[in-house]
Chains A and B, each alone.
Chain A
Amino acid sequence: MKILLLAWRNVFRHKRRTLITAAAISVGLGAMVMSNTLMNGMDKIASWNIINYETGHFEIFASGYYREEGMFPLDTIIDDPEPLLAIVRDIKGISGVTERVKFPARVNNGIDEFPVLAIGIDLNTEFDVFKTNKTVVTGHFIEKPDDILIGTELANTMEVDEGSVLTIITRDKYGTYNAYDFIVAGLITTEHPLFDANAVIMDINVTQELLSLGKGVTELNIRIRDESKVPDMKEVIQSKVGADYEVYTYKELYASIFEVSGIKRVGQLMIALVVVIIAAVGIINTMLMAVMERIPEIGTLKAMGFQNHDIVKMFLYEGGIIGIFGSLLGCLYGLLLSLYIVFVGIDLSSVFDSSDLGYPLKFVLKGTIDPALVLLVFVFGVIVSVLVTLWPVRRATKLQPVDALRHV
């Protein structure tokens, strides 16, 4: 106890040295926290778009609908979504559910026709799950039944703009041709070029009429409160909806895109490793210097009669205290910077500057904070600080006081 007190007083006696050392430690650790936040953000880039615009966290289909990626059979639909919606809404952890009708169609401007994937959305519940309203770059979101939203790439190819009339041609669930005129209400972009070049969005009631579906829909989309619980929730939802329906997570639906994360993860691991090394070096360097310059003190202490193990203990405590200060500081400012990234983000829109579209694409890199990791960083900082103190001090205590005193 006495030793601890001594250590504590020592630390505060040399305020400047302590501050400098703590500051040095904090820089590396703060960087670790921030890199992690950024990397979490990067991980999410791919999934954000898919979750926010295309699938939500889960999709529910009628059994047998999802045979292969890319097919949209109208014969296997959810005939009456109401009871299913009620069931899903009751499940704990669900923050929103909506219904959609997806179908292949051709969009025609009188001269040209292009194949598209048309999506009918329910304006009442769409924003419980999706953020499609944020994708509009010019014009406005769907307001009237004959409004249609079209991707910027597709609009460009078809040379249409806000106010243009487009005909959507498709076949209803019996194979009968149906066609309907829409007015382009706005142009959208999701930073997912395949989507922008292939999708059009309209009101679900119109699509149900177009396809003679009655109340039927092709899928339900679900958003849950805690994204990390997606794998667990799948079982829960599937058991509640029963065998007539199939539940898929967004990762399963877009398996091909998420396979990439394996390779990205290695890249991120390397970067993380690099940051850790640099941070560790910073701590080691600093602490080492701080300790080294006090080796003469050890000589004095020994001469005064202090035992070796007490001296070591004292230095360890000091190292620990400075380590704690530094780690606290580092985690603190790492968190502050991370919060900036989480809420404001880094604007990388300049990447898309030279876009041949003429429409500005916004791309802001955001992140999420992993509390477990912050704790880990803190512990790491303290441990390294203590360990770094340990070695030179133990060696120094073995010296004769006179040698220690002479140590420079």
Chain B
Amino acid sequence: MTEHQLIRVPGCQRIRGAELHSPIIRLAIVLHAFCSMLFALSGEDVIRKVDANTVVGSISYSAKMLISFGGKIREKEFAGFVQGEERAYMEFTAPARDKDTRFLKIDDEMWLYIPSVEKATKIAGHMLRQSLMGSDFSYDDVVENERLLDMYEIELVGSDSVNDRETFKLQLTAKIDEVNYFYRTVWVDKETYIPVKTELYAKSGKLMKEVMVVDFKKIDGYNYPTRIIMTNKLRKDTYTELSLDKIQLDAIVPGKVFTKAYLERK
């Protein structure tokens, strides 16, 4: 936290100059110090707390995805397992046309299985840039493996209110070249440490996508996001809504799930 940042804190006033004469001013300084202590929390700390909520050992879930593309709406259902940050398995269950379409991610590689083609297809090259099932997530959005902490410089820039909730406002700037979105602004709920709103920016600073966590569930002491809406800010009426349910955290997930054999099973 650097001095030039202006901190608006309810109850704390902006301090200019250093006149220590009057008692009022002295009180103000003490209050300021007190507030600053609260904000000794760095941006990184906030993010760490966010991760603590979502990066759990093993998770099993089922979910619904609603995709709106220029006004046209499609709904899909799927279920899956996630292990740490490296491994994930996903299987679509509805609608009938998508049934048994499966994805497997291990580290930064991803495979696709379609029932009518018996062998799995590796998603590589420019296929990675294609969207997942027509949603606003591209394959490489999903595969992006590194942690925010490793990719971004994180600055806590203040407080904000999102949907009547108090949030920390964080400014993220890429510190490595290979990121999808160069800038992110993340609003983290002060209570739940859920990133209730994220704005994803192109390198030019143009807003491209917005991700809102609209609902969460408290499971085993963790605050887990259960409804996420990603909106494409460059195209009208284009967004993807993800609703997770039946979430089991620290589930027992058999290792064989994350194998190609399992992916290709009949």
Contact = CB atoms under 8 A, between A and B. Distances in A.
**Direct contact between A and B in the complex (CB less than 8 angstroms)?**
yes
Interface string B177-190: 11111100000000
Interface in A167-187: 167, 169, 171-172, 174-181
A52 interface: no
Interface string B188-217: 000000000000101110101000000000
Interface string B226-245: 00000000111000000000
Given A171-B129, A212-B203, A176 B182 contact: yes
Interface in A140-190: 167, 169, 171-172, 174-181
Contacts of A108: 234-235
A169 B182 contact: no
A176 B203 contact: yes
Contacts of A180: 202, 204, 206
B110 interface: no
Contacts of B236: 110-111
B10 interface: no
A210 interface: yes
Contacts of B235: 108, 110-113
A179 B174 contact: no
B70 interface: yes
A351 to B, nearest CB: 37
Contact of A176 (B129, B177, B234): B177
Interface string A11-24: 00000000000000
Contact of A172 (B70, B129, B203): B203
A179 B177 contact: no
Contacts, number: 60
Contacts of A167: 206, 234
Q: Main SS of chain B's interface residues?
A: loop
A156 to B, nearest CB: 19
A178 B177 CA distance: 13
Contacts of A210: 203-204
A177 B206 CA distance: 10
B18 to A, nearest CB: 42
A172 B174 CA distance: 14
A113 to B, nearest CB: 7
Given A108-B234, A110-B234, A178 B204 contact: yes
A169 B178 contact: no
Contacts of A178: 182, 202-204, 206
A50 B182 CA distance: 37
Interface in A254-271: none
A138 to B, nearest CB: 26
B135 to A, nearest CB: 15
Contacts of A169: 202, 208, 234
A171 B203 CA distance: 9
Contacts of B70: 111-112
Contacts of B174: 176
Nearest to A174: B177
B210 to A, nearest CB: 14
Contacts of B129: 171
Interface in B67-100: 70
A177 B234 contact: no
B234 A179 contact: yes
B178 A177 contact: no
Nearest to B207: A179
B181 A176 contact: yes
A198 B226 CA distance: 42
Interface in B146-194: 174, 177-182
Interface centre among A110, A169, A176, A177 (most CB of B within 10 A): A177
Nearest to A175: B178
Interface in B4-32: none
Contacts of B200: 177
A179 B207 CA distance: 9
A167 B233 CA distance: 12
A49 B235 CA distance: 35
B202 A174 contact: no
A179 B206 CA distance: 6
Contacts of B204: 178-180, 209-210
Contacts of A113: 234-235
A67 to B, nearest CB: 13
B7 to A, nearest CB: 31
A90 B158 CA distance: 58
A206 to B, nearest CB: 10
Contacts of A112: 70, 235
A174 B174 CA distance: 12
Contacts of B208: 169, 177, 179
Contacts of A174: 177-179
A174 B203 CA distance: 11
A315 B200 CA distance: 93
Interface string A85-118: 0000000000000000000000010111100000
A209 B203 CA distance: 9
Contact of B203 (A110, A177, A181): A177
A216 to B, nearest CB: 14
23 contacts: A108-B235, A110-B234, A110-B235, A110-B236, A111-B235, A112-B235, A169-B234, A171-B129, A174-B178, A175-B180, A176-B177, A176-B179, A176-B182, A177-B200, A177-B203, A178-B182, A178-B203, A178-B204, A179-B208, A179-B234, A209-B204, A212-B177, A212-B203
Given A176-B179, A180-B206, 6 more contacts: A110-B236, A112-B70, A169-B202, A176-B203, A177-B181, A179-B206
